[in-house]
Amino acid sequence: MTWHAVATFLACARIGAIHSVVFAGFSSDLLRDCIEDCKSRVLITSDEGRRGGRATVTKAIVDAALKECPEVEHALVQGRSGNTMAWTEGRDKWWHEETPKVPNYCPPEVMSSEDPLFILYTSGSTGKPKGVVHATAGYLLGAALTVKYVFDVHPEDKFTCMADVGWITDHTYIVYGPLLNGVTTTVFESTPVYPTPSRYWQVVEKHQITHFYTAPTAIRLLRRLGEHHTQAHDLSTVRVLGSVGEPINPEAWDWYNEHVGKKQCAIVDTWWQTETGSIMVTPFPGVIETKPGSATVPFFGIEPVILDPVS
């Protein structure tokens, strides 16, 4: 996850192109399937990705996928490693060589409210990944309103969502939602514990973060490593804490509340999906009383229905 990914999102939206971000952990076969399914003509990647101190040669994955995707006309590559790699002349181009060729200003394309903004593929945990299409106006409205009201943001705030660029959480709560509200957003590349278990808290302290949004899995991991990591950093700027991706168990919620929020922050336990695009069920800071392990009430305009009380 680098700023280049965010720039790509916004550039596509600016010119009316549909973007489809694919998780870097997918195999070349899954990448090929996504490319073929949405009929992509241009692919943007980096020569390698970095996570937890390890490098993944993403260009090699791309090359394997594109062997069966002749419809892709251009592959724009952001160089990070400086290493030599396979190169297809005429198709592959360097980011740093191509971007200086374009003008500083690009007029925005006028779009219809129902025009697709992006396609995002599900994880495939229950079968073949499905391409979810989000329309321009409806998606952006949901992103803007949920950041504004679920997190109670103001223009001077600094929002941090610790998500991967390949998933919907990044799209809505790193890129579109905060920026639609004029809020500073943070782009984070690493894991919760690399190069140190204090990494999250270093970011919060250094950038004076006001809103912090992460997954219960990360909270449980950091809880096991001890609260001395949070105690070593000034987290007093944080006003709202968020949880996303799965139900948060009461023990993790209590630790999050006490050692990160210092019992002074609202905790919004949010429920939603790739298919919904933005938060569906959530408490509202300072309005709805929060409860460990409960996402509480539906967001504006949402009418939840229990179809199977057992499952």
Q: For the chain, what is the HEC assignment?
A: CCHHHHHHHHHHHHHCCCECCCCCCCCHHHHHHHHHHHCCCEEEEECCEEECCEEECHHHHHHHHHCCCCCCCEEEEECCCCCCCCCCCCCEEEHHHHHHHCCCCCCCCCCCCCCEEEEEECCCCCCCCCEEEEEHHHHHHHHHHHHHHHCCCCCCCEEEECCCCCCHHHHHHHHHHHHHCCCEEECCCCCCCCCCCCHHHHHHHHHCCCEEEECHHHHHHHHHCCCHHHHCCCCCCCCEEEECCCCCCHHHHHHHHHHHCCCCCEEEECECCCCCCCCCECCCCCCCCCCCCCCCCECCCCCCCCCCCCC
Q: Which pLDDT band holds residue 224 (cuts at 50, 70, 90)?
A: very high
Q: In the chain, pLDDT over 90 holds for what percent of residues?
A: 86
**pLDDT greater at residue 24 or residue 77:** 77
Q: Which pLDDT band holds residue 73 (cuts at 50, 70, 90)?
A: very high
pLDDT of residue 311: 76
pLDDT of residue 52: 84
**Structure confidence by residue, pLDDT tens digits, 103-121:** 999 999 999 999 999 999 9
pLDDT of residue 128: 79
Q: In the chain, pLDDT over 70 holds for what percent of residues?
A: 99
* Domain residue spans of the chain: 3-109, 142-269
Residue 189 has pLDDT above 90, yes or no: no
Average pLDDT over residues 49-56: 85
Residue 11 has pLDDT above 80, yes or no: yes
pLDDT of residue 120: 97
**pLDDT greater at residue 1 or residue 101:** 101
Q: Which pLDDT band holds residue 51 (cuts at 50, 70, 90)?
A: confident
Residue 127 has pLDDT above 80, yes or no: no
Choose the CATH number for 142-269 among 3.10.180.10, 3.30.1330.200, 3.40.50.980, 3.30.70.580.
Answer: 3.40.50.980
pLDDT of residue 292: 92
Residue 228 has pLDDT above 90, yes or no: yes
In this chain, the answer to whether the domains covering 3-109 and 142-269 adopt an identical fold is yes
pLDDT of residue 147: 99
**Structure confidence by residue, pLDDT tens digits, 271-297:** 999 999 999 999 999 899 898 989 999
pLDDT of residue 237: 98
Residue 54 has pLDDT above 90, yes or no: no
pTM of the model: 0.94
pLDDT of residue 56: 86
What the block records as the tokens of 246 is 């799965």
CATH of domain 3-109: 3.40.50.980
Mean pLDDT taken over the chain: 95
Residue 22 has pLDDT above 90, yes or no: yes
